[in-house]
Amino acid sequence: MRERDKPGRFLHSVDIDGRGRQFIQSVLLDSIEGAILRSSLARASKACAIAEAIRYSRGYHWVGLYDVSSTYIIAVGWSGPIPPARPIVSRSRGLRGNAVKSGQSQVIQDVAQHPGVATTRISSRAKALFPVSVEGVVAGILDVENDRVNSFTVLDEEFLAGAAQMLRPFWRGLGSSEG
């Protein structure tokens, strides 16, 4: 059997143009919104299901969703080989704290070049954080890690920014709790 014909290998790939990629991404985000956010699952189960869908959609190494309280950033759910290294951190510390303070995404293409960046695993090489704002306040964070340096493309950033926007209902109505 030829290598390319072995089970589990893609037999061919298709180069999809920008509109095709946008369509595929919108279908995935619509699926998350319709099937998960509106489901009757418990909130932590929804968080894990959302993280799993995002992780597998683009082959990310690890994905987590975090609540942002008035004092802490707290892991709600994740998808990856292990739990988060720091499930609860101060709202004012680290890369997550910077994302909360600025309200802007933080994309680190090589975590080795940024001492102090907390990753979930030693094998994580790139990290992206997308804050989710509800009524002008950062209420959550979408945290994504990859095992390759420079692995977040413009398409990844557009997809993750869209996912962060779509996830607003997940955090709407929670308010700021003390965690």
Q: What are phi and psi of 108, to 5 degrees?
A: -110, 110
Output the DSSP codes for 91-159: TTSHHHHHHHHH-S-EEES-GGGSTT---SSTT--EEEEEEEEETTEEEEEEEEEESSTT---HHHHHH
Residue 34 Cα distances to 31, 39, 126, 134, angstroms: 5, 8, 30, 19
Q: How far apart are CA 7 and CA 23, in angstroms?
A: 28
Max Cα–Cα distance, the chain, nearest Å? 59
Given a cut of 50, the residues of the chain with pLDDT beneath it are 1-14, 175-179
- Quick one: pLDDT at residue 133? 95
Structure tokens at 14: 């298709």
Q: How far apart are CA 55 and CA 57, in angstroms?
A: 6
Output the DSSP codes for 110-126: -GGGSTT---SSTT--E
- Quick one: pLDDT at residue 94? 85
110: left (phi over 0), alpha (psi -120 to 50) or beta: beta
- Quick one: pLDDT at residue 122? 65
**Letter for the amino acid at 3?**
E
3-171 has which fold?
A: Beta-Lactamase (3.30.450)
- Quick one: pLDDT at residue 135? 92
Which single residue is written with the structure tokens 């398409």? Answer: 155
Q: How far apart are CA 44 and CA 67, in angstroms?
A: 11
